[in-house]
Amino acid sequence: MTRFTVDEANAFLTASFKGRGAQNQVILMEPGRSILRLEADETHLRPGGYISGPTQMSLADSVAYMAIMTITGLEPMTVTSNLSINFLRPCIGSAVVAEGKIMKIGQALAVIDVDIRIEGAEKPSSHAVVTYALPRKAADAGAGA
């Protein structure tokens, strides 16, 4: 069972990212996996109708964050420590879907594999690997100080 539901995730995004959080719609939260959908508008596009690289990177980051929350529950201080993305093919369409799957989660770091595709497409437009630093537990906080 997931520790953070679709409804909780959508409410969190809307409340935490005023004006932008509601653009990403969480459509699946299951243990170690999440899916986000973005209805693209003119703010996400480059000339030629391409979904911009920064938009795809933001989606990768957001879906990775949500995948972690399925395991940890809400941990707002979980932060991105690395994001590597490869743009594989043009990303042209009105809706983009990002799927994040946890590859490894430990005490300090989580590594998430992310595919981003135009809704309905078989092949991904981009692929990312995102690493998040997890907040130290209260008992661990004083150990290294």
For 37-56, the pLDDT digits (tens) are 999 888 898 888 899 999 99
Provide the token pair at 117.
């595709």
Q: Which residues of 16-27 are buried (b: 16+ CB within 10 A; e: fewer)?
A: eeeeeeebbbbe
The answer to whether the CB of 116 falls within 8 A of the CB of 91 is: yes
6-141: CATH topology:
Thiol Ester Dehydrase; Chain A (3.10.129)
14: amino acid identity, one letter: T
Split at pLDDT 50, 70, 90, the class of 142 is low
The predicted-structure confidence for 72-102, as pLDDT tens digits, reads as follows 999 989 999 999 999 999 999 989 999 999 9
The candidate with the shortest Cα–Cα distance to 5, out of 100, 79, 69, is 69
| pLDDT for 138 beyond 70 | no
Averaged pLDDT, 113-134: 97
pLDDT at 145: 44
In percent, how much of the chain has pLDDT > 70?
92
Q: Supply the mean pLDDT for the chain.
A: 90
C-alpha radius of gyration, the chain, whole number? 15
The candidate with the shortest Cα–Cα distance to 135, out of 49, 62, 75, is 75
Residue 103 phi/psi, 5° resolution? -90, -40
- The pTM for the full model equals 0.89
